[in-house]
Amino acid sequence: MDVDRNAQVIVDLSIEINAPQETVWRIQTGIDQWPTWQKNVSQARLSAPITVGTTFQWETHGLSIVSTIREVDPLRRIVWGGPVQGIEGVHVWTITPTLEGVVVYTTESWDGPPVAADPDGMRAALTSSLEAWLADLKTTAEAGTSAL
């Protein structure tokens, strides 16, 4: 599964993280723990073990979101998506091992009337949000936080 390549906004970012793939995967998929390491996530609750079809609820930037997991390749890739306030989002995360750790790639698409009304503003907001997420993930993984 991929993002919606026909969406009005698509953002692709990546970051190198000097931590084991297992650590990065555990942190990224430990959805209930997101608020402990992501500055922009105030709540997160996973409804069941991570499998295709599982939903989770989370809040970021004042938005309450219900996402559905659409693909899982343990340690390597997770895809989720869902609607929020007229925006249909699809979010792909890929974790690729390197000699020093991993590269985390994230791609997210947004489509819908609010995006059509302000594509540049929406692209800027999504880019900023994903940059913060990646930076928080890097900081947490490289710190080797065992509490997560």
Where b means 16+ CB within 10 Å and e means fewer, 11-46 reads beeebebebebebbbebbbebebbbebbeebeebeb
Average pLDDT over residues 27-41: 96
**Predicted pLDDT at 64:** 93
Q: What is the pLDDT of residues 44-100, one digit of tens each?
A: 999 899 999 999 999 998 889 999 999 999 999 999 999 999 999 999 999 999 999
| Cβ-based neighbour number of residue 59 at 10 Å | 16
Confidence of residue 108 (pLDDT cuts 50, 70, 90): very high
Q: State the CATH architecture for 9-30+73-143.
A: 2-Layer Sandwich (3.30)
pLDDT at 7: 96
How far is 39 from 43, CA to CA, in rounded Å?
Answer: 11
Residue % of the chain over a pLDDT of 70: 97
